[in-house]
Copies of this chain bind each other. A is one copy, B any other.
Amino acid sequence: MKKISLDSNYRTEFIDISEQVSKSANELGIRDGWISVYIPHTTAGVTINEHADPDVVSDMKDVLDRLVPWEGGYRHAEGNTAAHVKASMMGSSVRVLVRGGKLQMGTWQGIFFCEFDGPRSRTIWVAEG
């Protein structure tokens, strides 16, 4: 298992980690199989979506913030309920095929770490399988 460390800069932020995941696949020696990205946090998620136009994930942030506003009369005393809900909506892991040591994704696809309660220092787990 490899760990990727990153620092988010905003409360809500989609960060393209495709390069780091690709590098991890090499370091893990995965030639043909699957690589998985797992988020060990409860106020961040991971998703695969378009990496070509940054407006896509910017719009996605806005839609999620509208659906699950930060202020919502929530019970959770820490005040970051919205981040928890959005983390579960995106999910805690994604998987990508590896063939010949290279990530296999669609032309427009990138892997995005989804920060919902930043800025923070975060760790991402990457493993074969």
As for how many copies of this chain the complex holds, the number is: 3
Among A39, A85, A107, A127, chain B packs the most CB atoms within 10 A around the CB of A85
Interface of A is mostly: mixed
Cβ of A22 under 8 Å from chain B: no
Q: Indicate if the CB atoms of B97 and A50 lie closer than 8 Å.
A: no
* B60–A88 touching, CB < 8 Å: yes
Decide: A63 and B68 in contact? CB cutoff 8 A: yes
Known pairs A34-B129, A42-B109; A88 contacts B90 (CB<8 A):
yes
Interface bin, chain A: 35 or more
Contact A63 B49 (CB under 8 A): no
Alpha-carbon separation in the docked complex, A33 to B72 (Å): 39
10 examples of A-B residue contacts, CB within 8 angstroms: A1-B97, A34-B36, A40-B109, A41-B109, A42-B109, A53-B78, A56-B84, A63-B85, A67-B67, A91-B91
Residues of A with Cβ closer than 8 Å to B?
A: 1, 33-34, 36, 38-42, 47-50, 53, 55-56, 58-60, 62-64, 67-68, 72, 74-78, 81, 84-85, 87-97, 99, 104-109, 125, 127, 129
